[in-house]
């Protein structure tokens, strides 16, 4: 990055934050909450396509109650058209949304020199925002700031004045960036980030086509939503070109699993789908705690976790993960020769759970086959 950019930002930061404080005050009254997410930004290797991919989920979970879903369609990205930068947010959505709204306002009002520098100014201004907010070091902030730590993380994707792609990771610890190299480069943040890196370990990072990079990014995000209870909802993938950002993929978790089933099937050999009817098992934090408790009591050595992949009107769909293949567990759980009150699309694919701890209403479960995924999509209308 050119040294003059940092100098330019430092000399103008007080003026910019006069504007920023006004915008922040407009936004800070909103009751925005939500924790947990998975975000990915990826740059292709040299010689590959001239585009950046940004992937983000849409599940928002409670900061007070671990994994409890507040929304399945939260917006966790912001496009700044003035500098062609797409940003995603993770952590405290109030902190992130306020900062990105303020930053967008600053960039829209910034001088032509700053805007024409492409992506580079936006991350530095965002980092200065975090620093000044936490320290209350300007009169514009000292009147209202809370002096608590900025509990968010921002990823940005865009291009510089020389048409080189850059991705940035901005949080209270600093600013980090990457550009093109011999292999695909990227950042992931949020509660599902480790799952993203785990998936990419098995990918070819010397990607030869835009289609292959798009598939890898989408599947890494899907993998995270299947195994991280704080990620999910809808998968959104954007392509950031040199002049704009295009929405190229928007699917629910189940729809995405149907699209990419062959690539993800091997990861689900130790998992089962469970359907809890909402008329008997209302989705509450207490119910979430009880479900986890029951599975730990019944399978103390085998149970790992459960992830709500869809909070529907008729059913709450949970993907329950174990530490071994589920063939024996499947036989242990099912009730033989029992009539089931279930949609025809699911009847051949699901059994009723035979556990005395769940007696309010019939709970169904089944192997995560491609046919069952298709049936769930049809029944849940997702």
Kind and range of the H or E element at 380?
A: helix 370-380
Taking residues 113-121, report their average pLDDT: 75
- For the stretch 164-200, pLDDT in tens is 999 999 988 889 999 988 888 899 999 999 999 999 9
**Cα–Cα dist 173/150, whole Å:** 10
CA dihedral 63, 68, 71, 74 (to 10 degrees): 50
pLDDT-derived band at 6 (thresholds 50, 70, 90) equals very low
CA dihedral 62, 66, 71, 77 (to 10 degrees): 80
Q: Which residues, 6+ apart, have CB-to-CB distance to 141 below 8 Å?
A: 17, 21, 132, 133
- For the stretch 269-299, pLDDT in tens is 999 999 999 999 999 999 999 999 999 999 9
pLDDT-derived band at 347 (thresholds 50, 70, 90) equals low
**Cα–Cα dist 107/16, whole Å:** 9
Paired with 184 in beta bridges are none
Q: Work out the number of other CB atoms within 10 angstroms of the CB of residue 253.
A: 28
User: What is the second-level CATH architecture of the domain 3-265?
Assistant: 4-Layer Sandwich (3.60)
In the chain, where the domains are located? 3-265, 269-380
pTM for the model stands at 0.86
Residue 150 or 21, more confident: 150
Region 269-380: CATH code: 3.30.70
pLDDT-derived band at 352 (thresholds 50, 70, 90) equals confident
Taking residues 225-236, report their average pLDDT: 97
The tokens describing 62, both together, are: 């409670």
């Amino acid at each position: 990055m050119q040294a003059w950019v940092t100098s330019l930002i430092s000399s103008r930061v007080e003026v910019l934050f006069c504007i920023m404080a006004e915008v922040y005050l407009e936004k800070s009254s909103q009751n925005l909450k939500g924790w947990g997410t998975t975000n990915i930004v990826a740059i292709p290797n040299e010689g590959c396509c001239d585009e950046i991919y940004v992937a983000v989920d849409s599940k928002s979970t409670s900061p007070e109650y671990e994994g409890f879903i507040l929304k399945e369609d939260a917006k966790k990205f912001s496009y700044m058209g003035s500098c062609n930068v797409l940003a995603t947010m993770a952590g405290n959505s109030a902190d992130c949304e306020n900062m990105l709204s303020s930053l967008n306002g600053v960039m829209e009002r910034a001088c032509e020199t700053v805007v024409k520098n492409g992506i580079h100014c936006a991350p530095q201004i965002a980092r200065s925002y975090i620093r000044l907010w936490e320290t209350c070091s300007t009169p514009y902030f000292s009147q209202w700031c809370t002096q608590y730590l900025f509990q968010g993380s921002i990823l940005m994707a865009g291009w510089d004045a020389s048409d080189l792609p850059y991705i940035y990771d901005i949080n209270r610890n600093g600013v980090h960036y990457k550009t093109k190299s011999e292999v695909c480069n990227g950042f992931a943040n949020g509660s599902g980030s480790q799952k993203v890196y785990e998936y990419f370990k098995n990918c070819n990072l010397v990607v030869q086509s835009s289609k292959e990079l798009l598939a890898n990014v989408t599947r890494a995000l899907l993998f995270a939503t299947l195994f991280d209870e704080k990620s999910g909802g809808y998968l959104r993938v954007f392509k950031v070109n040199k002049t704009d950002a295009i929405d190229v993929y928007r699917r629910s978790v189940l729809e995405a699993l149907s699209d990419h089933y062959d690539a993800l099937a091997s990861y689900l050999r130790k998992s089962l789908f469970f359907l809890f009817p909402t008329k008997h098992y209302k989705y509450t934090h207490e119910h979430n705690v009880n479900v986890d408790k029951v599975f730990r009591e019944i399978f103390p050595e085998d149970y790992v976790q459960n992830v709500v992949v869809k909070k529907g009107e008729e059913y709450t769909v949970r993907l329950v993960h174990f530490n071994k293949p589920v063939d024996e567990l499947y036989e242990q759980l099912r009730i033989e020769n029992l009539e089931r009150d279930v949609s025809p699309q699911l009847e051949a694919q699901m059994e009723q759970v035979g556990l005395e701890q769940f007696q309010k209403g019939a709970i169904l479960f089944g192997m995560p086959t491609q046919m069952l995924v298709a049936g769930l999509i049809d029944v849940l209308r997702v």
